[in-house]
A and B are shown apart, each in its own frame.
Chain A
């Protein structure tokens, strides 16, 4: 079903909206959540939370594109759940990808310890704009969607090795960008 028709169902407060949304984008949403949580049951619940969030947001929102909007909610709920589960040992693709980023931003002193996430998001956006489209896709596949190297390779048509090398370089560029923007020493 076309995105606009699904959104119309939300506006009509029809419960078909959720089932149509799930039929069209459920697989992508579950994959994203599972990558973060590494638990199918938790992923299921987070995706359902995201559907509920979508139900509450539409109307008045009319997101375009719809999938990106839902993915943002899925990621948000999944990370919230993940943090609640942090007492458990680290065991998800999200953990692994975040550990890579942690290494990238390691610094003895925080220049802007109180930098807000939204301000940092703008800095990250400027960094993303400096990347080639392909490298931007790879970076976000790894650190937004928490995809494995093998999955990224499949999505991009590159080898895992090439993905690995590109990510290493991109992390280095991110570090340089954060230093240049004054949020890392």
Chain B
């Protein structure tokens, strides 16, 4: 079966499913008091059930206890984090060792957590997720669908970890806690062996994946704008979005320049009239009202070979100012 066929099949499902998605309203967030109550229960349970043996005899566990609490629910295991919240931005992490033909597909790093998705052409895939173990951040949840999964305790470079396995399709969830950095790592895999999972986990090191695009950021935006989303960042391209309370939004896309022209790179029709401008010392071209209601400013950084497209509902001067204030992270 091809993915195209499956995509076609999805396109042919009854419209009631699509309507369900379009009209879906998420349940109201749990009240803080409810969450606190649950945490208290979790903490009490952990103390009552485990303290005597678990904490007393195991130094690692004693250290871990102050950072996280493992709580078993009917259909999930939730790790509640206990450390003081931090304002620090979490560093990038990646796996220094990868199985043959596996490569990084997508990554995201947003303040206190991030992830890298790896995959290969044989359908094997894994995600390295990492987060500060700060109180108030989301606990890591394994959706067990009520079945329960076997797990074993492991040591990843000296850090305590738990490896959950689902033997049938080689799916693994490996979580480990680096008490030194205060970061929890969660590694999910499918169609991979236990040895590969452990080896990838042990190879995790600080630093961005080298094959990925350089990162850029807005260093200036017009009043009222705020950065609300960093969209996918991949080995070939990146999107950065920003919006204002007035509902205006702007989007920056940058990509390795591989086409004959910027217009071809960003697929603007050749007959479309543009205005020649400059962003800093780089040649640029502005297309008015493309896409509809916005303007598009295109330019190429000849030093890095990165092509940029800025879309915004702003005038020429403002767009140039935004563009010139875009810098590498």
Question: How far in angstroms is the closest Cβ of chain A from B240?
Answer: 12
Q: Which residues in B have their C-beta under 8 angstroms from that of A24? A: none
Q: Which of A44, A68, A162, A169 contacts B291 (CB 8 A)?
A: A44
B260 at the interface (CB under 8 A from A): no
A183 at the interface (CB under 8 A from B): yes
> Size of chain A's interface in residues, with CB distance under 8 A?
74
> CA A162 – CA B131 in complex, angstroms?
13
Residue among A71, A123, A149, A165 with the highest chain B CB neighbour number at 10 A: A165
> CA A144 – CA B15 in complex, angstroms?
11
Residue among B3, B27, B115 with the highest chain A CB neighbour number at 10 A: B3
> CA A162 – CA B139 in complex, angstroms?
9
Q: Which residues in B have their C-beta under 8 angstroms from that of A159? A: 138
**Chain B proximity mask over A95-111: 1 for CB below 8 Å, otherwise 0:** 01011111111110010
Q: Which of A71, A110, A166 contacts B22 (CB 8 A)?
A: A71
Binds A, one of B40-48, B82-90, B118-126: B118-126
> CA A91 – CA B171 in complex, angstroms?
27
Binding site for A on B (CB under 8 A): 1, 3-24, 26-27, 29, 105-106, 108, 113, 115, 119, 122-125, 127, 129, 131, 138, 140-143, 145, 166, 169, 171, 173, 186, 188, 190-191, 229, 231-232, 234, 236-237, 255, 258, 266-269, 290-292, 294, 296, 311
Closest 3 pairs (CB-CB, A-B): A106-B123, A40-B291, A120-B9
**Cross-chain pairs A/B with CB under 8 angstroms, 19 sampled:** A41-B269, A41-B290, A71-B18, A89-B236, A91-B234, A96-B105, A98-B3, A103-B191, A105-B6, A117-B9, A121-B9, A124-B9, A137-B21, A156-B24, A161-B113, A161-B141, A161-B186, A164-B127, A164-B188
